[in-house]
Amino acid sequence: MRTRNNERQAFMDVTRRTLLGSVAACFAAGGGAPAFAQGAWPTRIVRFVSPYGAGGANDISLRILTEQLERQLGQQCMVENRPGAGTRLANEAVARAAPDGYTFLYAAAPYATAEALFGKLGYDRKDLQPVAMAVIAPLFLIISAEAPFKNLQELIAHGKAQPNGLTFASPGAGSQPHLAAELLFRDAGVKGLNVPFRGDAMSYTELLAGRVDATLTAISTALSYIQSGKFRVLGVASADRSSIYPEALTLREQGLSSVIAAGWYGFMAPAATPPSIIHRLQDKIVRILADADVKQKLFAQRAGSSRQHGRGVRRVHRRRDA
């Protein structure tokens, strides 16, 4: 049985190897769109499973894309939210689904780290196959505007003055915000505690109530709180300032050189799904991501599209064996 210290070390090991390794590798350019055989698919509702609750960045971007997929496929596309267990509930549900082309996963970054963090899973990585990378979302450091600290240096000083250090909300253990927070604690030399919730909405509620100090999040779901003056942005966990929200300094600029992380979302399918279906869906997704209107909608949600084919997501599978 793992002790709490062993689990913390596992999180840190994965943070070093995987957060900046396999996730970055999955953004590498894929090949051209493959040829595919036309068939009758789909003839009924196609289900897309989100591993997070409604209203979060994953859910919002998926709904933007499935709206367009309905037009492209000529069939209803249903979003099903199955939050919990650091995305593992949704992953397992799709891995066990019939490979008939009517159930797909809108995977998130914790998919790449789940086995290393939590050991044996209720599914095997071979039970799922990649379709297309869809969205890359930089992580921003957010605090309540009512917090006693107003910048990164004051936040760190606050944590060092507290017996238990800082508390960071996240959308689940093993999520990118959780792992990025662990990097921040280490680089800043401050104690810290991850407080996991089932999605961004609950994290924001706790942040507004002052029950946690901060969170690292995709800015799309936090934007209304920022614009209304309820949240303050302290920085972005990227190598360079983000065009999504250029006002934010990078955490690297502010002295935390290792805190570089981004969330990603991509489509996956049960492993035995027919190649003709995979290729057809992949082709539609790539066309949608290239559409100027879709790009604008994603940008309005402060998320960047990624025109990756299955090969990009497949690198996550390979790196997990390294």
CATH code at 202?
Answer: 3.40.190.10
CATH classification of the domain holding 273: 3.40.190.150
> 48, 62 in Cβ contact below 8 A?
yes
Digit-coded pLDDT (tens) for 232-273? 999 999 999 988 889 999 999 999 999 998 888 999 999 999
Instruction: Kindly state the average pLDDT of the residues 158-170.
Output: 96
Number of alpha carbons in the 13 Å side-chain half-sphere of residue 36:
18
Instruction: Read off the pLDDT of residues 116-141 as tens digits, 9 standing for 90 and up.
Output: 667 778 888 899 999 999 988 889 99
Residue 253 lies in a domain: no
Q: What percent of the chain has pLDDT over 70?
A: 80
- DSSP designation for 43: S
Residues paired with residue 50 on neighbouring β-strands, in sequence order: 81
The domain boundary residue, chosen from 236, 252, 280: 236
Residue 122 shares a structural domain with residue 158? no
In this structure, are 166 and 68 located in the same domain?
no
How many domains are contained in the chain?
A: 2
Grouping H, G, I as helix, E, B as strand and the rest as coil, residue 36 is coil
Please indicate, yes or no, if residue 88 is contained in any of the structural domains.
yes
Residue 175 lies inside a defined structural domain of this protein:
yes
313 pLDDT more than 70:
no
Q: How does pLDDT run across 279-299, given as a tens digit for each residue?
A: 999 999 999 999 999 988 888
Burial of residue 44 (number of CB atoms within 10 Å: 0-12, 13-18, 19+): exposed
pLDDT of residue 32: 41
Which residues face 267 on adjacent strands?
A: 106, 132
User: Are 87 and 107 found together in one domain?
Assistant: yes
Domain end call among 220, 236, 252 = 236
Residue keyed to tokens 């407080």: 195
pLDDT of 311 > 90? The answer is: no
Chain mean pLDDT for the chain:
83
pLDDT for res 298: 86
Residue 71 tokens, joined: 């037009």
The phi, psi pair for 268, rounded to 5°, reads -135, 160
**Domain of residue 156, residue span:** 138-236
Q: Where are the beta strands (DSSP E) in 171-256?
A: 192-196, 214-218, 231-236
Query: Residues 115, 157: one domain?
Result: no
| Same domain as 271, residue 152 | no
Residue 254 lies in a domain: no
Question: What is the rounded distance in angstroms from the CA atom of residue 26 to the CA atom of residue 10?
Answer: 22
**The residue to which tokens 């946690």 are assigned:** 212
What pLDDT does 302 receive?
58
